[in-house]
Amino acid sequence: MQSDPAALTAQFTLRLEGWQSDDRSIRYQDAGAFGRELDVWVAQVQREMLPRFPGEAMKLCAAFMELDVRVFENVDDDGGYVGGAFEVACEIWLTAARAAGFTSGEIAGRASVLLAADRYGARALLESAIIR
């Protein structure tokens, strides 16, 4: 486990950039493997970033959520393999926001911005931050 938040964030960001620039279509038979790849990335952010660097975990999860356009338009996810990673990213984002010391109002404001750009319902868990 690295102790340098900038270096660790850079590693996670590199993978995000790879997914963002990947324009291939992922067929149904490959969607499960791709979903597991997303799940692993999110779990690593939760394990390696959230406890020690919640602000960075929050930024990474927000960037991950912004991949929803690329992912949902390029993956044949009729089996529901990729949506779970986005739900977990939302949970981590909310936990990280609280751990980073943001007030309920600040969290609600930031969640509203993320929700406004949600075209696929992948960020629905953030609504709980606004309702409070």
Q: What is the pLDDT along the chain (132 residues), one digit of tens a residue?
A: 568 899 999 999 999 999 999 989 999 999 999 999 999 999 999 999 999 999 999 999 999 999 999 999 999 988 889 999 999 999 999 999 999 999 999 999 999 999 999 999 999 989 988 875
CB of 87 closer than 8 Å to CB of 36:
no
- In this prediction the pTM is 0.93
pLDDT at residue 131 in the model: 74
**Is 26 strand, coil or helix?**
strand
8 Å CB contact between 97 and 58: yes
Gyration radius (Cα) of the chain, Å: 14
User: What is the predicted pLDDT for the residue at 1?
Assistant: 54
Identify the domain containing residue 64 by its residue range. 5-17+25-131
User: CA nearest 8: which of 66, 50, 62?
Assistant: 50
Question: What is the chain's length?
Answer: 132
Positive or negative, the Cα torsion across 15, 17, 20, 22? negative
**Residues near 23 by Cβ (< 8 Å), separated by ≥ 6?**
74
Evaluate whether 8 touches 58 at the Cβ level (below 8 Å): no
Whether the Cβ atoms of residue 96 and residue 102 lie closer than 8 Å to each other: no
- What total number of domains does the chain contain? 1
Amino acid making up residue 95: T
